[in-house]
A and B are shown apart, each in its own frame.
Chain A
Amino acid sequence: ETGVTQSPTHLIKTRGQQVTLRCSSQSGHNTVSWYQQALGQGPQFIFQYYREEENGRGNFPPRFSGLQFPNYSSELNVNALELDDSALYLCASSGILAKNIQYFGAGTRLSVL
């Protein structure tokens, strides 16, 4: 157990809808990163938040947005869902002492129909 929890575990949406995924970081971790993992692929970096500010973004369109809260929990929002957004979304947190090592949650599996 990494101490990183994600909700919900599974979600089904239809094309065009909006979705919010949630992540609770491991205690003491002030950095959270979000990844998208398509079936049979490695995780792809979406963005990272550090102390409530975006601290780097991957090659994802603006309809992917995020928030980090003062308690370091985080949200990933995706607007105007497309079929290709179907994937496992992973949240990872890292702490002050070992910023290089990321601790992953179990993920949210999103299906867009």
Chain B
Amino acid sequence: SQQGEEDPQALSIQEGENATMNCSYKTSINNLQWYRQNSGRGLVHLILIRSNEREKHSGRLRVTLDTSKKSSSLLITASRAADTASYFCATESSNYKLTFGKGTLLTVNP
């Protein structure tokens, strides 16, 4: 079963614009992670935010976490065509098991 639900399901923007994706989840978590997947290949870890953190930055990525609303957002600033991919949030609640959402397909047009 899916724990997280990403919103929107698909997002199309122009190069240089910012992209924001949201994730909602249902149960309490230890941490929340964002992964990227290119064209049905393996997933690449982007960033991890712990349940006691509210915001985290990594390069052009900014992640927020609101545990009271059980939601997170991923912001990609100054997007590039190479950012085109599917983005998944994944929650970890126990035993390092990850529960993924259905993902957001981001298309960045040159």
Taking CB atoms and an 8 Å cut-off, the chain B residues in 86-107 that contact chain A are 88, 90, 92, 94-103
Of the candidates A4, A42, A56, A94, the one whose C-beta lies within 8 Å of that of B42 is A4
Of the candidates B30, B40, B44, B100, the one whose C-beta lies within 8 Å of that of A42 is B100
Most buried by A among B42, B92, B100: B42
Cα of A61 to Cα of B21 in the assembled complex, Å: 33
Cα of A45 to Cα of B4 in the assembled complex, Å: 13
Distance in angstroms from A50 CB to nearest chain B CB is: 9
Residue pair B45, A33 in contact (C-beta under 8 Å)? no
Most buried by B among A35, A45, A109: A45
Residue pair B99, A104 in contact (C-beta under 8 Å)? no
Cα of A100 to Cα of B92 in the assembled complex, Å: 8
Q: Is B72 an interface residue (CB 8 A)?
A: no
Of the candidates B90, B98, B102, the one whose C-beta lies within 8 Å of that of A41 is B102
Q: Is B18 an interface residue (CB 8 A)?
A: no
Cα of A4 to Cα of B92 in the assembled complex, Å: 21
* Known A42-B100, A42-B102, A100-B31; contact A55-B95, beta-carbon cutoff 8 A: yes
Residue pair B97, A58 in contact (C-beta under 8 Å)? yes
Residue pair A100, B95 in contact (C-beta under 8 Å)? no
Closest to B30 in A: A100
Residue pair A43, B43 in contact (C-beta under 8 Å)? yes
Cα of A33 to Cα of B95 in the assembled complex, Å: 11
Q: Is A44 an interface residue (CB 8 A)?
A: yes
Residue pair B42, A102 in contact (C-beta under 8 Å)? no
Q: Which 7 A-B pairs have the closest CB atoms?
A: A42-B100, A104-B42, A56-B95, A104-B43, A106-B42, A43-B100, A42-B102
